Amino acid sequence: MTTIQKKPENPIAHLSRQDIEDIGEQLDAIRASVIDSRGEEDAAYIRKVIDAQRSLELASRAVLLASLFPPAWLAGTAGLSVAKILENMEIGHNVMHGQWDWMRDPKIHSTSWEWDNASPAELWKHSHNELHHTYTNVVGKDNDLGYGIMRVDEEQRWMPFYLGQPLWNLINACFFEYGIAAYDLELGKNWSTRKENPEFQRQAAEVLKKIRAQATKDYLVHPVLSGISAPTTLAANLTANLVRNLWTHSVIICGHFPEGVETFEKASIEGETRGDWYVRQMLGAANITGSPFMHLMTGNLSFQIEHHLFPDLPSNRYAEIAPQVRAIFDRYDLRYAEGSLPRQVASAWKKVVRLSLPNNFLKRAASARTPAAAVATVTELFAPAPRVGRGEERQAA
């Protein structure tokens, strides 16, 4: 397995084929130990979280009936924001991964759960569970990597369009659930043939149905029930959805986009073994450090490394197995990428900005001795790209 080279040395060059297979066996053993020990305590955990989330949402919506009063608006909006985050992150995302299917509870099962999100569960499970978790951080295969609108690696050929990617990323963060729905539909690829594609039309109708149902609930029914508080209740619902989108986006980009997280070439996964797949997950994810409450609010995706190694294990067990996973990293001299939420968010955004520019542009601009030289460097960004052959294309960046 080879990574796209962003550093002078391949981070797994020191591993032998036997090392990689041994890593796979050790991680399989950790997985088996959790599966063998799942039980009532785990089941009680997810039921408690679901009950708490629903109670918080109901209480927050009740408080917002009086949202004309600022204290009620603040309390109701904060509560509704937390409830929406919990519903998407710790409950919806993890239930739809099949983490709780072993309970055989039809109400908490990946085949029956539908979440408060613009993307229908079945569509999301295909793009996320089947594609993203299979092709994690493989450029051109994993659409979660940049969502098809951003340059995610130095080896990608730069185009002037990428200058806008900090703005695209900000817009995507604010409307994240709708961006995910468009991404799940593969809108860019399918739009030109939409009229001849009945499957796309069916999926698009399902997305519009979900959006209509959510908008009716949050932006019509609940405000109307608030009577004279309707305008402030509407603002509260808009704010809660915005907070949920910004938080979710931040957690997601921290998991796969900070500096030091590896990306991979398509050719590198040909003939990939179980051990290779495990090592790719180890190198292609990053964790967020923090308190138990912060881990809960991230849906335990703060343990992104453990989640990508074991996406269908109960999320409440990631903290327990993280030290065992880290010990394997240390044993084989691999980097266990982690940092605080502010640090990881800053790192990810720094990378978004850096990759919006051609390779070495910042270095060249900083070394410009005169204003004229600096202007000339910036002007080069908008100059027509030279025509290159296929063999030279990867060097054009």
What digits encode the pLDDT tens for the residues 339-373?
999 999 999 999 999 989 998 776 665 565 555 55
Report whether pLDDT(219) > 80.
yes
More confident residue, 378 or 254: 254
What digits encode the pLDDT tens for the residues 75-129?
999 999 999 999 999 999 999 999 999 999 999 999 999 999 999 999 999 989 9
In degrees to the nearest 10, what's the CA dihedral of 390, 391, 392, 397? 80
Q: What is the CA radius of gyration of the chain?
A: 23
As a whole number, mean pLDDT of residues 9-28 equals: 94
**Residue 221 in tokens:** 């029914």
Report whether pLDDT(375) > 80.
no
pLDDT score at 240: 98
CB 334 within 8 A of CB 12: yes
3 state DSSP class of 53: helix
Q: Give the whole-angstrom CA distance, residue 268 versus residue 99.
A: 29
CB 92 within 8 A of CB 113: yes
Q: How far is CA 263 from CA 130, 132, 154, 285, 349, in A?
A: 18, 13, 10, 10, 17
Model confidence at 384, in pLDDT bands (50, 70, 90)? low
Burial label, 329 (beta-carbon count in 10 A; 0-12, 13-18, 19+): middle
pLDDT score at 26: 98
Report whether pLDDT(381) > 80.
no
Amino acid at 355: L
